Structure 1
Amino acid sequence: MPPAPERRPHPLSPRYWGIHLVAVVLLAAAVMLGVWQLDAWKAKREAAVRDLTTVAAKPLEKVIGPDDPFPGQYVGQPVSFTGEWLPRSTFLVSGRERGDVEGYWVVTPVTVDGTRSAMPVVRGWTASPSSVPAAPSGTVMLEGWLQPAEGTGEVDTDTTDAVLPQLRIADALHFVDEDLYGAYVIAAATDHGLERADLDQLPPAPRFSAIRNLFYAVEWWFFGGFVVFMWWRWLQDEVLADPDGDADPEGDEDDVPA
């Protein structure tokens, strides 16, 4: 009488609890670490676009110096400074929409006291270059919102006028005989005859801000999927597989006598 086939234990047998537990722990850890990295990505994205427009103004020299790169954490930070207008250096920036109307920013640099550099100041918005009021002159105590210089790559196709397609510092230098800060300021107080430049034109969060955290989250979840796959393969191969699955239940035809 042939021996009875070996019976595999049930998948929930106590002898397999340790393996199941390890799989559950690894999967839970992968999910939680992925969620943690995703939350970190969201938090850093929010920090990159946090609204500083309503906080108290800081002295300009506390935020950025004449030769400093733009401090990314201060996008939209109100700043205050004193200086002298450079009315002859006034220029316009085109392509600035207000509602359904495309208009211009009116920009006049201000030489900042205690430096030899000027800060481009957006005095306001106008629908037509012909309606721009005369630029102010003399000293000024100014407060406004600090912005990084633009750099969309758009080319100024007409260098004979005082209109730029973007507020790029390298282009603005053509109108100023002094060095410029690597930033500009949207003035809080608007000149008579101009409308205030909209603050919704603040630069958005960088596209790849905190992207590493997002990749880490995806990697952890991929690892969790790999854990599930390996656990399932082990379950199929070691627990659920028929130990006699390779045997021919009908017998081998080559063994049948002629």
Structure 2
Amino acid sequence: MQVTAWWSPRLWGAHLLALACVAAAVALGLWQYDAWEAHRAAERIDLTHAEPEPLTDVLGPDEPFPTKHVGRPVVVDGTWLPEGTVLVSGREEDGEDGSWVVTPLTVGGPDDAAVPVVRGWVPGEDPADAPPPPTGTASLVGWLQPGEGTGAADEDPTDAVLPQVRIADLVQLVDVDLYGGYVVVDPDATADAGGRNAGTSHLAPATLDQLPPAGTFTAWRNIAYAIEWWLFAAFALFLWWRFVRDALGRPGTAEQEVADPPVGSAS
């Protein structure tokens, strides 16, 4: 089969389709690879001791969570939404099982979007063991974290106990939008910054050490998706090669037909 036959006009459609599929798959693979690199870069940077910044300068209410700001101290001013208070179970402290106490805090006015705030830690997972949620306005400093997606199932959706700080679950409890992340109150920084009504009274401090180990899986999932897209690109190239080869016929077919004429033909 002559090389020039591969560029026959009747095969241009196959060439263009293969080029589009391969280009799209390679681009999507690179996108997932970049996301994996971003997760790795974020894990190498410890922002927990950085100077606090206003939350609105770091994250907007309709913006995806910025990976580069994981753990950054932020300042939040707003109004508590006590009706959205829940406990998040599975938070261990010194070998004792416990829960985070989470209450949304609007960022700005009472009708503005809110950010879930981890006010502190209590032993067990009984909402009756948590102090009453705060009301009114507040000013606090805490560490910014992305919403969790550990895949843990909520065994009882009717109670006020959740297995993870999942934004999609919390938004159903309030009448305002929620930010795409949450804040873990730092009581010491809040006091030093002159914060008020941080809602940490009668609660043990929540710490970042109590976070579930879910970040590594998320990062490896990105690189797995990248490899899948690149394998798809290779498969698309294989299908293109097979189609063009079959369309043009196997090498030597025409010569074999001339050398071996059909049975019964005149010699």
On whether the aligned pair clears a TM of 0.5, the verdict is: yes
Check 1:179–1:43 CA distance in 2 against 1; reply closer, same or farther (3 A cut): closer
CA shift in 2, pair 1:46/1:113, >3 Å: same
Q: Mean alpha-carbon deviation: is it higher for 96-105 or for 64-73?
A: 96-105
Which of 171, 177, 181 lines up with 1:183 in the alignment?
181
Is the counterpart of residue 121 in structure 1 residue 121 in structure 2?
no
Percent of pairs identical after alignment?
51
- The superposition leaves residues 172-219 of structure 1 with CA deviations (integer Å, 9 ceiling, x where unpaired) of 12221211111000011261221111212456455339969xx9xxxx
Cα distance in 2, alignment partners of residues 174 and 159 from structure 1: 12
Q: Indicate how the Cα distance of structure 1 residues 93 and 43 shifts in structure 2: closer, same or farther if over 3 A, else same.
A: closer
- Please report how far the alpha carbon of residue 131 of structure 1 lies from its aligned counterpart in structure 2 after TM superposition: 2.1
The number of residues matched between the two structures is 173
Give the corresponding residue for 1:38.
Answer: none
Quote the offset at 1:88 in angstroms. 1.7
Task: Indicate yes or no: 2:136 matched with 1:134.
Answer: no
* Separation (CA, whole Å) in 2 of partners of 1:204 and 1:123: 22
Residue in 2 aligned with 1:55? Answer: 50
**CA deviation profile, 1:101-139 (whole Å, cap 9, x unmatched):** 111000010011057211100000000323211111101
Q: TM-score, normalised by structure 1?
A: 0.61
Which has a greater percent of helix? 2
Structure-2 residue corresponding to 1:86:
81
**The residue matched to 1:155 in structure 2 has which SS?**
coil
Q: How does 1:135-214 map to 2 (within 5 A)?
A: 135-189=133-187, 191-202=200-211, 204=215, 206-208=218-220
**Within 2, Cα distance between the matches of 1:108 and 1:43?**
30
Distance 1:207 1:161 in 2: 32
> What is the root-mean-square deviation of aligned Cα atoms in Å?
2.5
Contact residue 107 and residue 122 of structure 1 kept, 8 A:
yes
Relative to structure 1, the CA distance from residue 153 to residue 171 in structure 2 (aligned partners, 3 Å threshold; closer, same or farther) is: same
Does the residue aligned with 1:170 lie in a helix, a strand or coil? helix
In structure 2, relative to structure 1, the CA distance for the partners of 1:178 and 1:55 (3 Å cut) is same
Contact 2:80 2:135 in 1 (8 A): yes
Matched to 1:125, the amino acid is W
Other structure's SS at 2:51 match = coil
Q: Is the contact between residue 42 and residue 67 of structure 2 (CA under 8 Å) also seen in structure 1? A: no
TM-score by length of 2: 0.59
Instruction: Tell me by how many angstroms 1:87 deviates.
Output: 1.1
Q: What amino acid is aligned across from residue 204 of structure 2 in structure 1?
A: E
Distance 1:71 1:82 in 2: 20
Matched residue SS, 1:52: coil
Picking from 88, 100, 108, the partner of 1:105 is 100
Q: Is the radius of gyration larger for structure 1 or structure 2?
A: 1
2: distance between equivalents of 1:183 and 1:108? Answer: 13
Whole-Å separation in 1 of the counterparts to 2:163 and 2:65: 21
Q: Whole-Å Cα distance in 2 between the matches of residues 43 and 71 of structure 1?
A: 10
